Each structure stands twice: as C-alpha cells, then as structure tokens.
Structure 1
Amino acid sequence: MQTEQIKDAITCFPCLAEITEEDWKENGISVVTLPANHIIHEGEFLESAALIMHGTVRMYKLGENGREVTLYRIHDGGCCPLMASSILGETAYEANVCIEKPTKVLFVPARIFQRWMGTYMSFRQFIFKSFAERLIIMSNLIDNMVFKSIRIRICEYLLERTTEGDNSLTITHDHLAIELGTAREVISRTLKAMEKEGLIHLSRGQITNIQREQLLELVE
C-alpha cells in the first residue's frame, strides 16, 4: 500500500487511523477500482474483506424462480456485514453482489481482517455498527414485504426518489420489481391502476407526472 492510498483509506474510514504502519505493509492489502456490473455470486468463499471507499454496491438474494430481492446497498465508507460475518465465521457468502457503478474498494485479506478485528477496537466497533445498521434495514424490509400492500410500497418508493421540483423517475417495471421484491406482473398491474386514477403517468422506462401530495395522503 502506498502512503497516499493509506491516507485516502483513512479519510474514508476514520476507524483505520489506529492501524500501524507495519500492519499496512502486509502483503495482500490493496485498493482496486471495480467496473460497473461486476458480480459476486452467493456461495463463494471470500478471500478478502471489501471496504467500499467510493461507489455503490447492491446486495441481493436470488430465488429459485429467478426473482431478485434487493437487501440493501453499500455506499462510500461502508462495509457489508454479511461479508464480515462470512469471513469471521469462515463460511460461504450468503448473498449476491452487483457493482452498480465503478467502485473503489479497499481489499483486506481475510486473515488480516480477522486479526484487525481482534486487535483494533475502533475497527471492531465500526464493523459491529455496520451489523446493527443493516439489521434495522433488513427488519424494515421484512416488515414492508409482510405488512404493507404493494401499492403503498410503490408510493413510498416513488416519494423517496422524487421531489416537488422533479416528479419523474426513470425506472423499468422489471427494475422496480427487483427493488421491491415482487413479480413484474404485480408491479405493472398496480402501476396501471394508479395511472387510471391519475396518480402517475407511465411511458417507456419512465414514471412521470407523479402526484406527490396524493401519494403522501395514501401513505399516511
């Protein structure tokens, strides 16, 4: 690892500030930029931990019927707790990974990651905090899928990704189905019903004229 790379890594992950210069010099630690659409498949044994310095990574599950469910995303300065648990427990990775845009990653070999977890309190606290944050996200995902109708979930998704000044969203029915963990047919049927009610307008690959005030009333 070069000095500038170490400084960049510490800027992204302040918890790494206590790592000694000697530990940084160990073989295998590297910074790599992964291309968009790079995939890691469920069931692989990970040789290194990946700390996301800059970029976006999506974690998802793939059902036997081919349907995808997005679990969560990792952004700048983040770490996947499933990855950490896989390395610490020396088990296969339990999700699929998709790099959504070019992403700079700090790779730390598994044996070094395990040792850092036992040696450096700040790093250990950072990993445990990542576990806690993603558990909350996963709990919310389960609540949404079990207790909320797909109509309400679509409304919430549209509200989260639009503003008063920009009430349009570029997204396909397939992609929206993946994001919400349901079938494309269910998404298309619900969106068409919402269009008939004047809540949205559908065009190829886009949802426009989103009536945010009406969607807020439905959600509340």
Structure 2
Amino acid sequence: MIRSEQLKELNRLILSEHRSRIISLFPSLADITEQDWNHAGMKVIQMEPNYMIEEGHFLEHAILILEGTVRMYKISGGGREITLYRIHSGECCPLMTSSILGESEYEASACVETPGLVLIIPVEIFRDWTDRYKNFRQFIFKSFAKRIVIMSNLLDNIHFKSIRGRISEYLVQMAVQSGNSDTLYVTHDSLSVELGTAREVISRMLKSLEKEEMIKLSRGKITIMNRTALENYIE
C-alpha cells in the first residue's frame, strides 16, 4: 500500500514530468516559482469519460485542461438542457474561476465529453496565484472576456434567430468542422440540447427541411443534400 508521503512524491514527479507541456499550453504559468509548483494538492490526473460536476457545488479545486473536452451546460427548472460552451486544451472555465474567486456555488454543470489530462489546483493556491501573478490574472480575465462574447452570441441566437436558421447554421458548422463532410452523426436529442429547445421542435423542423430536400434523415445520422440552400437560411 502506498503511504501518503510516497503518494505526494509520486504526484510531484508526475507534475514535474508534465511541467513543460503545461507551460506551453498556459504560458501565463511560466512565472510560477518552483516553490509554488511544489504545493501539496497540485496534481495531473486523467479525466474520466462522462464524469460530471453538478450545479450548486462549492469547488475544492480549479481545473486547467491539458487535453480532452468538457461541456458546460445549464438545466432549467422544467428539465430542459442547453449547452453553454465547451472547454478544450489550454483553457479553463470562467464560471469555475468566478465560483472560486467569489467563494460561491458553481453556477453551471460540467460533463467530460472527451477524456484527457487536467491540472488540478487547490482553490487556496489558485486564489493566491491570481493575486500574486499578473500574467496568470490577465489570463483569467481574458477567459472571462472570451466567454462573455460566446454567451452573448448564444443569447442572440436564442432570442433573435428562428429555429430554422439556428438548425441550418449548426448543421453547416458541423459539416465544416468534420472536414466538409455532408454526413453528420447527430441525434434529434443532442440537437435539442445544443440549441436549447424541445426535441419535438427539432424533429418537426428537420422533417420540414427534409421535405424541402435540403437534408436526408436516418437513425442517428443527418445527410446534407443541399448545403447552399441551408446557408441561405442562416440569419
């Protein structure tokens, strides 16, 4: 059985092994002293698939993503779910930092979408680094600014764009992200989550687009038949 002292030394060695990669992904950490890197509780760990942090928790650690993807989402009182944004390699969640720095409850839920490595920083150390290291503090503020723009665009989409336009835009974006493939592996349920609307609304609109011969529907798959026509619906 590994003793606590041995476990601490093992964590320290793992952290040291990943240090150069961490700094390459988060250049703002280049100023962190050797003494600060050696604080107890600093770890590099593997994110488990589908691991979740539920809204309303008080966080004990900050998480910086080294690889993998975490999806941030909200669930309404009626049970409807909407994706807010995703956190990728070289990023951290501004809602997480807001919760930690404000010593308040986590205001969203998080789910590991793609497993990978993360840097775990105890909240006391994270607050101390934010206070003492200017570059790290600027990184946190830039993360806030970036996500504010994303959240603003999300609100604009929900309130000012038609569901036909939003679905068309999302499908075209998926096609571009998949290397301009017109075959998209996506379900009606996942679309409703991404766009924050009822599954029935999504299904009805997809059927309408299929009747117009813009897409073809099959189980778990949507094939784009006329991308130019879809693009014309993007508002």
**Range into which the TM-score falls when normalised by the shorter chain:** over 0.9
- 1:66 maps to 79
Aligned residue among 193, 201, 208 for 1:178: 193
Conservation of the 8 A alpha-carbon contact between 1:44 and 1:92: yes
- 1:77 maps to 90
Conservation of the 8 A alpha-carbon contact between 1:86 and 1:93: yes
State how far apart, in whole Å, the 2-side matches of 1:69 and 1:138 are: 12
State how far apart, in whole Å, the 1-side matches of 2:225 and 2:141 are: 39
**SS of the counterpart of 1:151?**
helix
**SS of the counterpart of 2:67?**
strand
State how far apart, in whole Å, the 2-side matches of 1:105 and 1:119 are: 23
- Percent identity over the alignment? 56
Aligned residue among 157, 169, 187 for 2:184: 169
Conservation of the 8 A alpha-carbon contact between 1:168 and 1:210: no
**SS of the counterpart of 2:137?**
helix
Counterpart residue type for residue 169 of structure 1: L
**SS of the counterpart of 2:31?**
coil
State how far apart, in whole Å, the 1-side matches of 2:201 and 2:116 are: 33
Unaligned runs of 5+ in 1: none
Counterpart residue type for residue 21 of structure 2: D
Counterpart residue type for residue 216 of structure 1: E
Q: Deviations over 1:25-84 (max 9, x none)?
A: 000010111111001000010001001111100000011222111000000100100000
Unaligned runs of 5+ in 2: 1-11
Conservation of the 8 A alpha-carbon contact between 1:46 and 1:92: yes
- Deviation at residue 212 of structure 1 after TM alignment: 0.9
- Deviation at residue 165 of structure 1 after TM alignment: 4.5
- 2:64 maps to 51
- Deviation at residue 161 of structure 1 after TM alignment: 0.9
Stretches of 4+ aligned residues off by more than 3 angstroms: none
2:229 is equivalent to residue 214 of structure 1: yes
2:222 is equivalent to residue 202 of structure 1: no
- 2:40 maps to 27
Q: State the Cα RMSD in Å.
A: 1.1
- Deviation at residue 101 of structure 1 after TM alignment: 1.3
Q: Deviations over 1:113-136 (max 9, x none)?
A: 000001111100101000000000
2:182 is equivalent to residue 192 of structure 1: no
- Deviation at residue 218 of structure 1 after TM alignment: 2.0
Taking structure 1 as the reference length, what is the TM-score of the superposition?
Answer: 0.97
2:149 is equivalent to residue 142 of structure 1: no
2:131 is equivalent to residue 118 of structure 1: yes
State how far apart, in whole Å, the 2-side matches of 1:209 and 1:68 are: 26
- 2:143 maps to 130
**SS of the counterpart of 2:175?**
coil
- Deviation at residue 210 of structure 1 after TM alignment: 3.6
- Deviation at residue 209 of structure 1 after TM alignment: 3.2
State how far apart, in whole Å, the 1-side matches of 2:130 and 2:181 are: 44
- Deviation at residue 4 of structure 1 after TM alignment: 1.4
Conservation of the 8 A alpha-carbon contact between 1:167 and 1:211: no
Conservation of the 8 A alpha-carbon contact between 2:164 and 2:233: no
- Name whichever structure is richer in strand by fraction: 1
Q: How many residues align?
A: 220
Q: Deviations over 1:11-31 (max 9, x none)?
A: 221110110000000000101
